[in-house]
Amino acid sequence: MEQEPRIGVYVCHCGVNIAAAVDVEHVARAAAELPGVVVARDNTYMCSDPGQALIKQDIREHGLNRVVVASCSPRMHERTFRAAAQQEGVNPYQVEMANIREQCSWVHRDKSRATEKAGLLIASAVAKAARLEPLEQREVDVTPGVVIIGGGIAGMTVALDVADTGLPAYLVEREESLGGRVAELNRTFPSLQPVSDLLQPLIARVQDHPNVTVFLTSCVSQVDGYIGNFEVEISGYGETGTPAGGDPASKSGTPRAGLSVGSIIVATGYDVFDPQRTPELGYRDYPNVITSLEMEERLIQGDLTVDGRRPERVAFVKCVGSRDARLGNPHCSRVCCMYTAKQARLVREMLPEAEVTVFYIDVRAFSKGGEEFYDETRSQGVRYRRANVSEIYRKRSAPGVDAGLAPRAGAAPVLLVAEDTLLGQPIEFEADLVVLAVGMEPRKNAGVIQKLLKLPRSADGFFLEAHPKLRPVDTAMDGIFLAGCCQGPKDIPDTVAQAKAAASSALIPLIRGSVPVESASAVVNGELCAGCAMCADVCPYDAAALDDLWGTSRINPVLCKGCGACAVTCPSSAIHLQHFTAEQVLAQVDALVE
Amino acid sequence: MKTQKLTEQLELFGCIQCGKCTGGCPVARKTTLNIRTLIYHMLVDPSMDVDAHQELWDCTACFTCVERCPKDVEPAELIISLRGELVEGGRVPETLGTALMGIFRQGNPSGMARQDRELWAAGMEESLERAKGLATRARDASSAQEECELLYFVGCIPSYDPRIQPVARALLRTFEGAGLHPGTLGTRESCCGSEVRRMGEAGLFGMLVEENGELLRSVGARQLVTTSPHCFNTFRKEYGLDGMEVLHYTQLVARLIDEGKLTFPEPSEARQEEHRTVTYHDPCFLGKQNQIYDEPRAILEAIPGLKLVEMDRRRERSLCCEGGGGRMWVEGTNLQERLAFQRVQEAAETGADTLAVACPFCLLTLEDAVKVQGLDEQLRVMDIMELVDACGAMPHVER
């Protein structure tokens, strides 16, 4: 069914984005002369409705069977043009794009040479288009059910949303109880509601829900499959000698369950910055220098004394381990400003006679009710000083310190050394209790989940969302979604919002009942395959494997993402990647170098 | 001075004005030097009257600001560049000018005669000749004799200053004792230029890097060891001596002890050094700037009988002695409150009878302070090398 190529070429001005650097009319005229091209046009915005209408009209009037659009990156609008062509009966895989914006007009200034390059890119796309074959759009059925990794507030929220639809939710938690980091907190900001008031009912609902299965002291040890049909193995965490906090994917634990599900949610949370990495702040040198999480514990206990004495001066030091490039944590942890305000206020309540001072670089009170809470905190008498504390030490001759070699352990005050940047003066500030507002970091063992699920991470080490604005809970792996602080620091409201978003995204394929799979997959020619399995070695998606019966390679078209690694590795050229065949690619190259 | 170009060059736009630099600056607490506001002026003012900032000469180049900056700005580099503006116009304190001239003419800041550079080895002439021979023979590759594996760079202060010369002798003696045969450059050795760069004399520093670099490379040594953390720091970071391992002596000595090539005899009544209580002062150029905190302590702990106690401000929080960045040759603006005074008080408060150092500048400034503070009955300042030597370090088997 070889068709004679009838190609339409559409050159986009993208307003002035392309037209300013490329003579679009000239390249359209030149494209009209290329072999197989029936019609070539230029238009201000090809992606607009009139632009798409133009393509559709030409397909009808000129009987086009291939479409080449010269515009922006295919990441931007390939889907748009494929859909337009498909509506007129052209196979979506017979649409080709030439990127003359990002790869041409935006990066070149010399108009004549940019025009020449655009012409070549279009000729190259036309050469490929002439050789494109129609591919079938395929769908596979899905297995209902969701595995959620992490039983903190994010994971529990997802589990309940999934379970409430009537589908099974499997919640995997490595610790002995649910609740995660939130369970370590005292009260929330800005409402000052006790954490137990919001957490306990949530845990109870999860435990009682007929559709939620909770696996405690468990971890995910193996994941196979693909969107709609994952096979997940659950093992005991920390069993047979694996230290808690060790490798959560350790296979040392006995497999507890094998689950078949359609989606996976990662809600593995964060680690707290260890201030021993900022030795200038004296954490662990002085018992009265504590972290904010240790402060939460003290607030829960209701005990703020230092060596049995009520502290008279309490200092908070913000941005410890956050916004700090030298520590590899350039990010803002987003919660420290507010939890510090909260703690400072609680200290004011518990120790009305004490002086409470917060040392800050900037105050970021952006959450709903945040600025109002900050205002209230100051009006309660908490002092804010703009200073990034540079050093904490103790003068041996300071009051309360015994003479001799060993300073008395807890009670002696420490000195905070800083510059008050509003006064423009270096200061030494004496405090009886210092709280280091430690930030959030990616889990130290995030690499385990990264490998297990093949998830990319962003430069800050947190898991990377598919798009920072438009796909904030999706990952590069279809069917795997992110919730909570594993994707980046968040407060409780943001975590819950993201968890609910992840739940709804994860449910889409499950409710739809099937998922579309990539058609541009690799295909093995069994006649040529020698069974060397090098394709299986390079495949990042475990799609290639040797057939048990024939000993030759087979590629699972559902797992295959069409990356082409196997096709270029195969020493016998037995694998070809549909939509990127050797013939198509070589024709593209020839058109460029001719 | 126009600020724009330098601001871009030093990437000061990254500064968020948090003040961690000035907060940690040891001299900001006693003079008007405020590096954060200097950066701010650079960011918001199109021009700056550098002459109005004589406090620029207060900086000791301890680099605490560089180490602590959360945004990878290098505040001290701005001070060095602004000093460069002053140097360019010939507007330097007279004593600094003299030091720079001495380095230019005689290869040392004291302006002492170049041919006297090896007087430090008085009484060890045989060892010196041998060490010099090694470095020279290796230079003309024709003779396939002994290769110079290890080159000992003595440095200006240890070469000329009678208080530090014994440190250099102790080093040579210890190395030989451990079976190492270091080469030295003798009178061919010149100032490393570390403080020259930090005083803002970029031109002279460039010249020294070129000449010294060529000389050092020509010896073909695999390792280069220095007495001073200042020489060590510049060779390690600013010379591009590829293929040459640059070591401070504390690293090498700690390694020798670790490998069992250097051991100490059982304590004896006769050697009172062994019964000392020692506290150790981390030099900025060794500690903060090169994270060498453990090796000096490992050496002290290896000496039997010697007791190591710590000051509160140690390691990353060590207090600068004010000897770096050219401050050996210029007084700065506040003579009354010397940091060295504070430092020896802190040392005395530990109950130690000995303040150990690993830097010639620290040794001189702290010893002065001990005298001025009237602590000389109570506290003795010694280089780690002097302690090692006095405690009879010896090779494992022979001798």
Distance, in angstroms, between A323 CA and closest chain B CA?
A: 7
Distance, in angstroms, between A394 CA and closest chain B CA?
A: 7
**Which residues 6+ apart lie within 8 Å of A59 measured at CB?**
A8, A67, A85, A88, A89, A90
Confidence grade of residue A274 (pLDDT, cut at 50, 70, 90): very high
- Asked whether the beta carbons of residue B317 and residue A405 sit closer than 8 angstroms, the reply is no
Residues A189-196 have a mean pLDDT of 93
Q: Which residues in B lie closer than 8 A to residue A388 (C-beta atoms)?
A: 18-20, 23, 70
Chain A contact present for B293, CB below 8 A: no
Q: In this predicted model, what pLDDT tens digit does every residue of A90-115 receive, in sequence order?
A: 999 999 999 999 999 999 999 999 99
- Asked whether the beta carbons of residue B315 and residue A404 sit closer than 8 angstroms, the reply is no
List residues bridging with A306 in a β-sheet: A309
Confidence grade of residue A256 (pLDDT, cut at 50, 70, 90): confident
- Any idea which of A164-178, A217-231, A321-335 has the lowest mean pLDDT? A217-231
At residue A535, what are phi and psi to the nearest 5 degrees? Answer: -65, -40
Chain A contact present for B43, CB below 8 A: no
Would you say B256 and B396 are in contact if contact means Cβ atoms under 8 Å apart?
no
What is the rounded distance in angstroms from the CA atom of residue A500 to the CA atom of residue B291?
47
Q: Which of A382, A394, A388, A384 is nearest to A419 (CA)?
A: A388
Q: What confidence score (pLDDT) does residue B334 get?
A: 79
Q: Which of B343, B339, B358 is nearest to B249 (CA)?
A: B358
Q: Which residues in B lie closer than 8 A to residue A319 (C-beta atoms)?
A: 18, 70
Q: What confidence score (pLDDT) does residue B272 get?
A: 62
Chain A contact present for B70, CB below 8 A: yes
Tokens of A351: 């120790």
**Which residues 6+ apart lie within 8 Å of B223 measured at CB?**
B149, B150, B151, B244, B245, B246, B247, B252
Tokens of A339: 């939890």
What is the rounded distance in angstroms from the CA atom of residue A529 to the CA atom of residue A532?
8
When scoring B15, B17, B18, B307 by the number of chain A Cβ atoms within 10 A, the one with the most, hence best to mutate, is B18
Would you say A13 and A45 are in contact if contact means Cβ atoms under 8 Å apart?
yes
Residue from the list A285, A407, A421 with its beta carbon closest to the beta carbon of B19: A421
Tokens of A40: 């070539």
Burial class (CB within 10 angstroms; exposed 0-12, middle 13-18, buried 19+) of A1: exposed
Q: Which of B46, B53, B109 is nearest to B79 (CA)?
A: B53
Would you say A160 and A154 are in contact if contact means Cβ atoms under 8 Å apart?
no
Chain B contact present for A320, CB below 8 A: no
Chain B contact present for A394, CB below 8 A: yes
Evaluate if residue A276 carries a pLDDT over 80: yes
When scoring B30, B317, B350 by the number of chain A Cβ atoms within 10 A, the one with the most, hence best to mutate, is B317
Can you spell out the DSSP letters for B150-191? EEEE--HHHHH-TTTHHHHHHHHHHHHHTT---B--GGG---
**Does residue A369 come out as left (phi exceeding 0), alpha (psi in the -120 to 50 range) or beta?**
left
- Asked whether the beta carbons of residue B312 and residue A428 sit closer than 8 angstroms, the reply is no
Q: Which helix (H) or strand (E) holds A229?
A: strand A229-236
Distances (CA, A) of A366 to A316, A383, A462: 20, 20, 22
Q: What confidence score (pLDDT) does residue B141 get?
A: 55
Would you say B172 and B127 are in contact if contact means Cβ atoms under 8 Å apart?
yes
- Taking 50 as the pLDDT cut, the residues of chain B under it are 144, 396-399
List residues bridging with A329 in a β-sheet: A324
Distance, in angstroms, between B286 CA and closest chain A CA?
A: 16
Burial class (CB within 10 angstroms; exposed 0-12, middle 13-18, buried 19+) of B390: middle
Q: What angle do CA B313, B316, B319 make, to 5 degrees?
A: 45
Residue from the list A285, A394, A418 with its beta carbon closest to the beta carbon of B23: A418
Chain A contact present for B334, CB below 8 A: no
Q: In this predicted model, what pLDDT tens digit does every residue of A298-331 receive, in sequence order?
A: 999 999 999 889 999 999 999 999 999 999 999 9
What is the rounded distance in angstroms from the CA atom of residue B306 to the CA atom of residue B274?
5
- Asked whether the beta carbons of residue B19 and residue A419 sit closer than 8 angstroms, the reply is yes
Q: What confidence score (pLDDT) does residue B371 get?
A: 97
Separation of CA A500 from chain center = 16
Tokens of A487: 């994707």
Distance, in angstroms, between B75 CA and closest chain A CA?
A: 14
Distance, in angstroms, between B216 CA and closest chain A CA?
A: 33
Q: What confidence score (pLDDT) does residue B276 get?
A: 86
- Asked whether the beta carbons of residue A421 and residue B18 sit closer than 8 angstroms, the reply is yes
Q: In this predicted model, what pLDDT tens digit does every residue of A390-428 receive, in sequence order?
A: 999 998 654 444 433 344 455 689 999 999 999 999 999
Q: What confidence score (pLDDT) does residue A391 get?
A: 97
Distances (CA, A) of A496 to A464, A469, B122, B187: 18, 17, 77, 73
Separation of CA B84 from chain center = 21
Indicate if the alpha-carbon torsion angle A215, A217, A218, A219 is positive or negative.
positive
Give the start-end residues of each E strand in chain B.
150-153, 223-226, 245-248, 277-280, 307-309, 354-357, 380-383
The residue type of B44 is V
Would you say A510 and A167 are in contact if contact means Cβ atoms under 8 Å apart?
yes
Residue from the list A282, A388, A424 with its beta carbon closest to the beta carbon of B34: A424
Q: In this predicted model, what pLDDT tens digit does every residue of A458-472 receive, in sequence order?
A: 999 999 999 999 999
Distance, in angstroms, between B194 CA and closest chain A CA?
A: 24
Q: Which of B19, B61, B320, B348 is nearest to A416 (CA)?
A: B19
- Asked whether the beta carbons of residue A417 and residue B24 sit closer than 8 angstroms, the reply is yes
Distance, in angstroms, between B315 CA and closest chain A CA?
A: 9
Confidence grade of residue A248 (pLDDT, cut at 50, 70, 90): very low
Q: What confidence score (pLDDT) does residue B273 get?
A: 59
- Asked whether the beta carbons of residue B70 and residue A387 sit closer than 8 angstroms, the reply is no
Q: Which residues in A lie closer than 8 A to residue B58 (C-beta atoms)?
A: none
The predicted model scores a pTM of 0.85
Q: In this predicted model, what pLDDT tens digit does every residue of A474-521 receive, in sequence order?
A: 998 999 999 999 999 999 999 999 999 999 999 999 999 999 887 889
Residues A285-303 have a mean pLDDT of 95
**Structure letter (DSSP) for residue A471:** B
Residues A228-253 have a mean pLDDT of 63
Q: What confidence score (pLDDT) does residue A517 get?
A: 81
Mean pLDDT of chain A: 92
Q: In this predicted model, what pLDDT tens digit does every residue of A197-215 receive, in sequence order?
A: 999 999 999 999 999 999 9
- Asked whether the beta carbons of residue B28 and residue A426 sit closer than 8 angstroms, the reply is yes
- Cβ density class A468-477: b for 16+ within 10 Å, e for less: eeeebbbbeb
Q: What confidence score (pLDDT) does residue A594 get?
A: 74
Complex prediction ipTM: 0.92
User: Which B-chain residues 176-195 have CB contacts (< 8 A) with chain A?
Assistant: none
- Asked whether the beta carbons of residue A323 and residue B70 sit closer than 8 angstroms, the reply is yes
Residues A281-303 have a mean pLDDT of 95
Would you say A139 and A482 are in contact if contact means Cβ atoms under 8 Å apart?
no
Residues A359-380 have a mean pLDDT of 97
SS3 of A148-209: EECCCHHHHHHHHHHHHCCCCEEEECCCCCCCHHHHHCCECCCCCCEHHHHHHHHHHHHHHC
Chain A contact present for B133, CB below 8 A: no
Distance, in angstroms, between A330 CA and closest chain B CA?
A: 8
Chain B contact present for A276, CB below 8 A: no
Would you say A100 and A70 are in contact if contact means Cβ atoms under 8 Å apart?
yes
Would you say A292 and A343 are in contact if contact means Cβ atoms under 8 Å apart?
yes
Chain A contact present for B316, CB below 8 A: yes
| Strands A263-266 and A146-149, bridge-based pairing | parallel
Q: How many interface pairs between A and B have CB atoms less than 8 angstroms apart? A: 92
Q: Which of A58, A45, A49 is nearest to A11 (CA)?
A: A45
Q: Which helix (H) or strand (E) holds A385?
A: strand A383-386
Q: Which residues in A lie closer than 8 A to residue B64 (C-beta atoms)?
A: 390
